[in-house]
Amino acid sequence: MKKFFSALCAAALTAAVFAPAALAYQGPSVSCEAYIVMDADTGQVIMEKNADEVLYPASITKIMTMALALEKAQGQLDTQLTVSYEAVHQLEYGSSHIALQEGEVVRLEDVLYGTELESANDGANVLAEYIGGTIQGGVDAMNAKAAALGLANTHYMNPHGLHDDQHYTTARDMAVITRWALSVPGFEDIFCRTDPWTMEPTNKQPQQRVFHCTDWMRISGDYLRSYAKGSKNGFHDQALTTFVNYAEQNGIRLISVELKCQRLEDKFRDACAILDYAFENFSKVEIPAPDEAFQVPVVGGGEALGNALVQPQSATALLNKNLSTDGITVDYQIPDQYVLGQPFEASVTYTLPENDYQPSALGSAQLSVSGIDEVLAASTYVPASSLQPDKNPVGIAVAAAAAVLALVLGMRLWRKAGAKRTPSGPTPAQWEIITRKPLPAEPAPWEKEKDKTPPRSNTKPAGRD
């Protein structure tokens, strides 16, 4: 892997979830032990305090539970679920619930809204059984998803968040979980509902059950905010009060997490102070793509076929009004070569100078790759195994053409699959770069005279291993 180190960008920012050690940046005064503010579109962290401190989540655990259930449902919210004995009775006395009964047949959608709006622990148990077959199976799926998201500081012991010493998370992990949950079809509708939800009578319950939103930031009072779109809260004696918010204003979508607030009212006061400050002090910055580009050899069957072009695109990010884009550093990470049929991921990372207003590590973004189709179109490389000596020359030509066509189609399929791995957020942009020289590039096949056949070799490019 080649690393191209650069310095003194004129302008650059990006979207990603990398941050330095937990620090308290200048911002509002809050009582919570830890908090974080993340751009919901890009994952960029713009504010934080003790964001990596391991704490108890309480009922914000249910964000993971609900999202996994919706991911499995694939829009089939009319799915009928039968409430088990364990779902009802594996709860401590006084636990929040929606009065589910053993043997009751309920709709998945009703259980989801009961879990969100009433923070129903019996509902969370039912969802866990739906996800994993048993409550423990659902918990195992939750831990597997946390691991898949790269979260080393989150561990679940149950699907609802009741206290267990081994049931924990961090503000940063919760923001990542919530950002993923918002990408699951149907989650945002449930997470953002403020109107009451009515659950119709079932085989066990002859009366309707009505669930209500209790988020003061979205319904009424001194903490009402027009930017507040969705939330989930939690509480128990060890976690104290926890709160996750989703907010949107002027095209900026934010996720905030507050952990270990002392009192019920504190979580609303802290969330309002944090988000008021964020929307007032951060703005979206559009940055054009830089002129810098790198050539990377394209290799197939052990031969160098030509060169691909690797370059960044434009970027969008959030910047505190007290900062400028001067002095940002850039680090390119580009593989030595592009091997056909193998993943190729080139990226660039960005860092702000140390400051008191937002995290310095801004993250990384993928670089675009172009010129592959032209390399393949100009290449005369044909796998030796496709050629049959002492056969009809026409057959040999057909086999060679088929091999080239398969190579082109395979490359296009690989590029299509690779696009799925590219982050949907913005990529970096315009800056003046001081760096090592780009990789030396040999002339591309199409740049040679048309009446000359590009050389073929069974050796790898010089200097590569």
10-residue mean pLDDT profile of the chain (465 residues): values are 38 33 69 97 94 98 98 98 96 92 98 98 98 98 98 98 98 98 98 98 97 96 97 97 98 98 95 98 79 88 88 81 81 89 85 87 79 83 45 43 44 39 34 34 42 36 32
Distance CA 321, CA 428 (A): 19
232 is in an annotated binding site: yes
- The reply to whether 183 belongs to the active site is no
Which pLDDT belongs to residue 24? 56
Helix (H) or strand (E) holding 399: helix 393-421
Three-class secondary structure of residue 243 per DSSP: strand
Which pLDDT does position 274 carry in this prediction?
98
How high is the pLDDT of residue 151? 98
Residues 377, 408: Cα–Cα separation, whole Å:
8
**Catalytic one of 59, 96, 256, 347:** 59
Distance CA 349, CA 365 (A): 7
Which pLDDT value is given to residue 347?
A: 86
CB 257 within 8 A of CB 35: yes
What pLDDT is attached to residue 287?
64
Dihedral, CA atoms, 32, 33, 34, 35, nearest 10 degrees? Answer: 10
* Choice among 62, 145, 229, 267 that is catalytic: 62
- Give the alpha-carbon dihedral of 442, 444, 448, 451, to 10 degrees: 130
Whether residue 62 lies in the annotated active site = yes
In 3D, which of 233, 238, 178, 243 has the Cα closest to residue 56? 238
DSSP-derived pairing of the beta strands 252-261 and 315-320: unpaired
- Amino acid 206 reads P
Q: 428 and 4 in contact (C-beta within 8 Å)?
A: no
Is 59 a residue of the active site?
Answer: yes
pTM of the complete model? 0.75
Beta-sheet strands, E only, within 301-428: 303-311, 315-320, 329-334, 338-339, 347-351, 361-366, 368-370
Sequence-distant (6+) residues with CB within 8 A of 124 are: 61, 62, 65, 115, 158, 159, 160, 161
Q: From the candidates 6, 84, 96, 119, give the one annotated as an active-site residue.
A: 119
Q: Are 91 and 121 in contact (CB under 8 A)?
A: yes
